[in-house]
Structure 1
């Protein structure tokens, strides 16, 4: 592994600032996610309720995410991100105060989850597309991978710290620490050197821009196939907030610390795997297929592990496969997108990733309720394998239709030949 290649995008000062701020803030974010799942489980003792809260937090991304992409293409992404990140800090502060003063109720958690989801619907697209404005096309793959590594490094640290704090001082302190962590990311954005950015020209406001984004994405194979894969995988495989707390509590009779170590194991694997992935400029559907198969197999191994030791090891490799799948897919669609469409395309990626949770979260929770946590987790592993198989079948070269011997072929009009050629062309396009 080439160290210089692995961290090459960090040579850019603006990205260094952004990376530092995100590294701090994301630890708090993962602490809040772990604490929120445990708080809901303590209040309701219901896997279905846990799935409902997860669904409510991501439903706005499904409903408003595509429009958030339109706003991102029209706006100054740096200003938009700064405001929305500050609002996220306020949401964490309110939840923390309610919990610390023992005033929190289930409906309040639901309401704040919806509020956070609405913020995410408009924040995801500018944040993702802003990476290219900081680093340019040459460093985009590396920066996206390092950004994903940061998320998973935080996953390795945040849940473990949250588990210890929940056991020691209670859930509320995790939300307050998350609120404080947003100071770092807002400060990093305010310190950006605008002269070193490569901003895309804001798209003028016009009718039909949302529909235009859908049409563009669906008509470009290198965008459409990764979106379809992430739609299925995101809906069923990334429901760890629903499945892992119940797996820790009911299958292995553990507490918050077991949940924290499960999530942290996945985060450690993602960091190791992500650093290796960052050294290689791999994008494309084929690479996504390999990572999807690996992700599915490791989830299935986790689901049917006989003990916690095997779970921790399996989740290390699941984290590696997960970060590869996300970073390869994200890089593929960004490099395939025209600059004026990038915000809308990334919005669709986020809808496929997070916006499908309102369907997958309750579904996985229901599956766990009628069966067991292992089955709910295994459904996600199978989804990864199905997504990979679907991509292979859709993109495989089409075999030409068998033709009769020359002496038996009827005469064909030139117009018919032209029409046949035209109809076969789209299937032969690389996308």
Structure 2
């Protein structure tokens, strides 16, 4: 006898080859080129800014304040970016953010070239770069559905993630060479030029090429009219935001604090080992983008997304108990699972959110992920000092298992 529940469950289709069909669409192709170039340029600032601060005899405290200025401004600007993108259009917000970051990064390059030893000025300019990043993020996620047909949206999000992770994997090595052979000013200039390249691709896309939303999505846009109403009516959105907060409670602190402690104190591998562990997670995330791109346009994303979350939790919890090579493997698995999870959730949100509110919804999801980062770092730092890094990895694994175990019990998410 055939199980009716099994016949009603939407099939998960897997394509053995990566779908490159989204690249047929000129607007999307330009978008992914611009964002990949900008992501590649971010590595130059990540490498050059600390060396610039240290070259002015600034220590870890000065660097932490500069980085905090960037993070605080990015966090504060993310909700604003969602509101502005929904009100004035994602294209305009992205263009303004790119031009703003171009000017601020160019000013940082001038500070480095002219040897202006002002940590306050460096912090202000870094904050402006963070402000642009916060404005850009929700608008970038909101513009993608207007550049692709609905059936190619999943593949488009997957390719976007793949390109960004590839740029993030390649960028630091090249940026380090530029700083070592030349100087931080040249690296920051290169970063500024990548923002210019992103702005040029947006100009080439043009506001006139943005497609109208799909009919079924457009019809849902009539109600509700604002984000508060949507949050009140959509249990799916409330579940996604709750799971996002719970899943990120210790993830940031784990990667920034517990992982360096594990590499140096527990595994005894030092900086080289830490670099390898970080590269394993990033490499796994890149592989996850390729895997995600191989999936078809799923009719249901809930079950695969929850499975990826549970897999990530199990892998993270096992990291400190498997030796160096086992830790590399587990972090690779966790990175891959996280990318597939993100693509599934983002695509589901894009397809189930009225276009007029999409940027604000993406801003809310991004904000929930970023807002817990400072608390995560502080809490994990205290936990590592008191109990050691292994406890943090176990706690992170359990929090991920708990978050996605809860998600598994929610019908709205399972049916997404």
TM-score between both structures, scaled by the size of structure 2? 0.79
Given that 2:23 and 2:29 are in contact with CA atoms closer than 8 Å, whether structure 1 keeps it comes out as: yes
Give RMSD over aligned pairs.
3.7
Gaps of 5+ in 2: 1-13, 215-222
* Structure 2 residue corresponding to 1:322, chosen from 315, 329, 338: 338
Asked whether 1:29 is paired with 2:42, we answer yes
Q: Which residue of 2 aligns with 1:348?
A: 364
Structure 1 CA distance for aligned equivalents of residues 172 and 249 of structure 2:
22
Aligned-pair CA distance for 1:117:
2.9
Residues 176 and 134 from structure 1, CA distance in 2 versus in 1: closer, same or farther, beyond 3 angstroms? Answer: same
Structure-to-structure mapping, 1:29-428, within 5 angstroms: 29-33=42-46, 36=49, 44-45=59-60, 50=64, 56-99=69-112, 110-163=123-176, 173-199=186-212, 212-239=226-253, 240-244=255-259, 252=268, 254-255=270-271, 260-280=275-295, 281-282=297-298, 284-307=301-324, 309-376=325-392, 378-393=394-409, 395=410
Deviation string 1:28-49 (CA, Å, 9 cap, x unpaired) is 2134335557878995457x97
Structure 2 CA distance for aligned equivalents of residues 237 and 288 of structure 1:
18
Aligned-pair CA distance for 1:260:
4.6
Given that 1:54 and 1:361 are in contact with CA atoms closer than 8 Å, whether structure 2 keeps it comes out as: no
Structure 2 CA distance for aligned equivalents of residues 268 and 21 of structure 1:
22
Given that 1:54 and 1:358 are in contact with CA atoms closer than 8 Å, whether structure 2 keeps it comes out as: no
Structure 2 CA distance for aligned equivalents of residues 312 and 147 of structure 1:
25
Residues 288 and 430 from structure 1, CA distance in 2 versus in 1: closer, same or farther, beyond 3 angstroms? Answer: closer
Deviation string 1:152-182 (CA, Å, 9 cap, x unpaired) is 1122212333455566666665433322222
TM-score between both structures, scaled by the size of structure 1? 0.76
Q: Tell me which structure has the larger Cα radius of gyration.
A: 1
Deviation string 1:365-402 (CA, Å, 9 cap, x unpaired) is 44445554555555433332221122234x16xxxxxx
Aligned-pair CA distance for 1:329:
1.3
Given that 2:112 and 2:184 are in contact with CA atoms closer than 8 Å, whether structure 1 keeps it comes out as: yes
Deviation string 1:95-131 (CA, Å, 9 cap, x unpaired) is 4454566656665554444323322332222111001
Q: Give the total of aligned pairs.
A: 389
Residues 67 and 101 from structure 1, CA distance in 2 versus in 1: closer, same or farther, beyond 3 angstroms? Answer: closer
Gaps of 5+ in 1: 202-208, 397-426
Residues 367 and 97 from structure 1, CA distance in 2 versus in 1: closer, same or farther, beyond 3 angstroms? Answer: farther
